[in-house]
Amino acid sequence: MNLILDLLGAALDLAKRALQWLFDWFLDLNIFDRLLVVLTLGAFFAIVLPIARYRAFETWYYINNPLAVYMIGIVALIFASFYIPSLYAAIARGAVNLYYLGWVIYIYASNTISHAPYEVTAGYWINIVIPVTYCILTALSFIFYGQEG
């Protein structure tokens, strides 16, 4: 029984130290990078929420975002670029987000979300707001804090 309690205590201590390290890392970021980290929650909603819906047989059917996997990659790039604070990281963040934004607008403009008559849901608009906000925060972070991260 003592072995189990010791292992549980060691695991909890490790979890406590990991959370403290994560919190300290978050506090070391500048305000715009902190907002980028918080915006990751919004990116999660952009991934999971449907972007359109259509009515068939007296019920609503929802269409998932075909580009959601790319938003996961964008979030990974944002986190990886915190460790490389430079002009190249800022350009990579902005370029990838603008590329994603272009494709999100394209699938709506080209009417390729669905062949059924559909209406756009809030998830589509979140998929537009998140990359635009990522670009704005990236630009502000680089303008005000430059090379220091």
Give pLDDT tens digits for 35-68: 988 888 888 888 888 888 888 888 888 888 888 8
State the distance between the two ends of the chain, measured CA to CA, in whole angstroms: 48
Per-residue pLDDT at 125 exceeds 70: yes
Per-residue pLDDT at 84 exceeds 80: no
| pTM (two decimals) | 0.77
H-type alpha helices, 1-149:
2-28, 31-48, 68-81, 87-109, 122-145
141 vs 32: CA distance, rounded Å: 5
Could you tell me the residue ranges of all domains in the chain? Answer: 29-148
Read off the tokens for 40: 């990751």
Question: Cβ neighbours of residue 109 under 8 Å, at least 6 residues apart?
Answer: none
CA torsion angle 128 122 34 15 (round to 10): -130
71 vs 101: CA distance, rounded Å: 10
- Across the chain, mean pLDDT equals 85
Percent of the chain with pLDDT over 90: 13
Instruction: Show the 3-state SS of 21-38.
Output: HHHHHHHHCCHHHHHHHH
Alpha-carbon 19 to chain mean position: 21
DSSP one-letter code for 117: -
**Mean of pLDDT values over 119-133:** 89
107, 66 Cβ separation under 8 angstroms: yes
Confidence of residue 148 (pLDDT cuts 50, 70, 90): low
Per-residue pLDDT at 20 exceeds 70: yes
pLDDT higher at 87 or 135: 135
13 vs 72: CA distance, rounded Å: 30
Per-residue pLDDT at 26 exceeds 80: yes
